[in-house]
Amino acid sequence: MLKLISKAQKGNDKAFLELFQQYEQDIYRMAFIYVKNESDALDVVQETAYRSFKSIKNLKEPKYFKTWLMRIAISCALDILRKRKNVVPLKPEFDNHVAGIVNEDIISGITLKDLIEGLQEEEKSVILLRFYQGMTLKEISVVLEIPLGTVKTILYRSLTKLRNSLKGDEANER
């Protein structure tokens, strides 16, 4: 793989394409968790491909290629979310509710995805990278460009929030 990265850094388009395709699904899954729809997730993948192709010559540590790609993908996803915040919807969307269901007990069911959505952006990023991408704390530190100790603090704070949210829901069910 390091040979492919070296070729890509020297301008070999085929080598870059082969490298990118190895991680394309991971990038899509990460993007989808952030932006919550297929169209925007595909935009993130496309923008990540463009930005990474444009700047692969600047990659200093080839062994962190995947980490570098994920950092670009997260940055692209957050850019889309920022743009989306500037758009004012004309009418509210009910994307999580199925039309015709009246029973409030069914609607109030909370999934892990819903719980993760309640976290702050940095907490969400750490949880997703750790448990959905299987990255080590050190790799997360590199991707998010924050100290290792901060990553640990954010991870434990996030897990505590998730546990407390779950406990709160269990108490409501009784």
Q: What is the 3-state secondary structure (H, E, C) of the chain?
A: CHHHHHHHHCCCHHHHHHHHHHHHHHHHHHHHHHHCCHHHHHHHHHHHHHHHHHHHHHCCCHHHHHHHHHHHHHHHHHHHHHHHHCCCCCCCCCCCCCCCCCCHHHHCCCCHHHHHHCCCHHHHHHHHHHHHCCCCHHHHHHHHCCCHHHHHHHHHHHHHHHHHHHHHHHHHHC
Residue 106 pLDDT more than 70?
A: no
The pLDDT of residue 90 is 46
Residue 45: count other Cβ atoms within 10 Å of its Cβ.
22
The pLDDT of residue 169 is 56
Highest mean pLDDT among 19-28, 30-39, 105-114: 19-28
- Domain 95-174 grouped into CATH 1.10.10.10: yes
Residue 49 pLDDT more than 90?
A: yes
CB of 71 closer than 8 Å to CB of 139: no
Structural domain 1-88, CATH architecture: Orthogonal Bundle (1.10)
Structure-model confidence comparison of residues 134 and 96, the more confident one: 134
The pLDDT of residue 87 is 57
User: What is the domain partition of the chain in residue ranges?
Assistant: 1-88, 95-174
Cβ partners under 8 Å of residue 135, min gap 6: 67, 70, 129, 143
The pLDDT of residue 52 is 92
Residue 37 pLDDT more than 70?
A: yes
Same fold, 1-88 and 95-174: no
Please state whether the predicted TM-score (pTM) of the whole model is above 0.75. Answer: no
Average pLDDT over residues 24-38: 88
The pLDDT of residue 111 is 65
